[in-house]
Structure 1
């Protein structure tokens, strides 16, 4: 089996230990090529049967033997160009493995807003002079309603944590699902507006697809209760940034916690950077000290599954987009 590894942000280098594990999983006679750029990857394309990493349209076209691609990411929207989406090559990812850390990060952003942590940090030593004002602006989560958009692994992890904070949770998903110990109800997307109206905090946990692109605009923010908040840890393009700023300016929203932005990196002069009611991090919510190891473990298990004809783990429905 000929394996091509294309390094990137989530896998900047490939230690010998990982190479040895991959070779063992792939079986005797297997080879590994490592490319540190898209251009270098093209040099190995002709023989590649498996790719770990991003496959550009150019690489895809130059790889006639390609059978399977494993993404070094949970979001796979950039892989789904027509040739890949409509072809027979399988795509898998760390789908289902990053929910806990995304949910942790969602609450880190939310607490930075509700407990005025971000505001205090911005003030620095002056925070002591503003202590009374900061205390008056702090809010608690107990008794609030968490509205979760997308009830996959991330949404479920958010609901579990919300329970720990004394919140109630409701959710919408592409299909209506049964509730569980941490969510009162999971509605189909045709009740999205009802969820917005009932939620004190909305957590964006859905993938970016044609259906979710621009899902939150002026009309959606207008349906949320005055003084509510939104947190986004999946993809920036799901929220219309201009509409978000308008909702914050009007007081319709009290705050936004954003790990993602419609343009990344967000330009330094973008108005979202200037706001005290917005907390942003640089698309880092999915990171943890265990993430890369878990993903390599799945990749190795899938190499064995490919060899034996077993179904792969974490397979992406390329037409659905997740």
Structure 2
């Protein structure tokens, strides 16, 4: 009988190979961060940990044994979900591992704008001593969190330490701890005028694509700051650039973009009221540990018992 195969698209030192081999004594467990080295194994793999776009042709055209993919990211919009659903392959995401680092990034951006750190860094480069009309603070202001999942909940918890009023948007409209008032997506335009800070923590789906465009920017306060750590296409970038130029909003912190890397000719690079980070909001020294120990291993225990992995199981209809 041929061995069942687990393929891990990572360097072996990033995963607990020996522990996995103990859990899967009759399996072949292969780890390598070069898909070319895994070509043979990918054709026969039953489980894949860490989806990479480069493996798609092999998986979709040659592998008939694949049953489960555990992604290394929270977002799954880069996977061929329809094809995987048709093949009966279940997908679990890394949703939840980003709550601490991304919520820290959100507040780094909020505080950076409010306390003009971005301005002072620029001034330091040219040895300019100027107070830059600093006057803002975030205490007791209103924050709107668009997408109250793991990241949104952690952001709301931190916001309460600043005595902020917290508004939230989630599909169900159900209440959540630390959120003073919850809205549903169709109520977004009602919520936006109330917010001093708007934070997007949504996945990319057909419903969220261009959720923020000219009408939404016009509903926001001209003093409001927008933070997007979800996915770039949630914002219509041309409309955002115009809103910034027309001072319809005060500024934006962006970790994600419609095209990545952000093209050199994008006006966003040169704008004083924009802070850009290169899709690194979720980076953390604990990333691998959290994906493996908190998500993959519990799911693997279910799988080897003949059950469907149930932690972060992707709903193909919803797209996340």
- TM-score between both structures, scaled by the size of structure 1: 0.91
Does 2:195 match 1:194? Answer: no
- Once the 2 structures are TM-superposed, how far is the Cα of residue 79 of structure 1 from its aligned partner? 1.1
Aligned positions of 1:168-207 closer than 5 A: 168-180=165-177, 182-207=178-203
Residue in structure 1 matched with residue 93 of structure 2 by the alignment: 93
Counterpart CA distance in 2 for 1:155 and 1:86 is 32
- Once the 2 structures are TM-superposed, how far is the Cα of residue 192 of structure 1 from its aligned partner? 0.9
Aligned positions of 1:86-125 closer than 5 A: 86-124=86-124
Name the stretch that deviates more: 302-311 or 100-109: 302-311
Aligned positions of 1:1-322 closer than 5 A: 1-7=4-10, 13-15=11-13, 18-25=16-23, 27-54=24-51, 56-61=55-60, 62-124=62-124, 126=126, 128-131=128-131, 134=132, 136-180=133-177, 182-297=178-293, 298-312=295-309, 313-322=311-320
Secondary structure at the counterpart of residue 251 of structure 2: strand
Secondary structure at the counterpart of residue 43 of structure 2: helix
Structure 1 residues 81, 305: closer, same or farther in 2, change over 3 A?
closer
- Once the 2 structures are TM-superposed, how far is the Cα of residue 252 of structure 1 from its aligned partner? 1.1
* Structure 1 residues 225-266: Cα deviation after superposition (integer angstroms, max 9, x where no partner): 121110011111111111111111111111101111111111
* Structure 1 residues 9-54: Cα deviation after superposition (integer angstroms, max 9, x where no partner): xxxx2218621122122x2111022343444444223321000111
Runs of 5+ unmatched residues, structure 2: none
Secondary structure at the counterpart of residue 261 of structure 1: coil
For the 8 Å contact 1:116–1:138, the answer to whether it is kept is: no
Name the stretch that deviates more: 182-191 or 204-213: 182-191
Secondary structure at the counterpart of residue 124 of structure 1: helix
* Structure 1 residues 121-168: Cα deviation after superposition (integer angstroms, max 9, x where no partner): 11215465222xx2x234111221101111111111111111111210
Q: Structure 1 segments of 4 or more deviating over 3 A?
A: 34-42, 125-128
Name the stretch that deviates more: 151-160 or 40-49: 40-49
- TM-score between both structures, scaled by the size of structure 2: 0.92
* Structure 1 residues 72-92: Cα deviation after superposition (integer angstroms, max 9, x where no partner): 111111114420144311111
For the 8 Å contact 2:153–2:176, the answer to whether it is kept is: no
Counterpart CA distance in 2 for 1:183 and 1:304 is 34
Secondary structure at the counterpart of residue 12 of structure 2: coil
* Structure 1 residues 98-125: Cα deviation after superposition (integer angstroms, max 9, x where no partner): 1222111111111111111011111215
Q: How many residues align?
A: 312
Counterpart CA distance in 2 for 1:149 and 1:155 is 8
Residue in structure 2 matched with residue 10 of structure 1 by the alignment: none
For the 8 Å contact 1:69–1:91, the answer to whether it is kept is: yes
Name the stretch that deviates more: 55-64 or 68-77: 55-64
Counterpart CA distance in 2 for 1:87 and 1:196 is 41
Counterpart CA distance in 2 for 1:17 and 1:57 is 22
Counterpart CA distance in 2 for 1:90 and 1:171 is 30
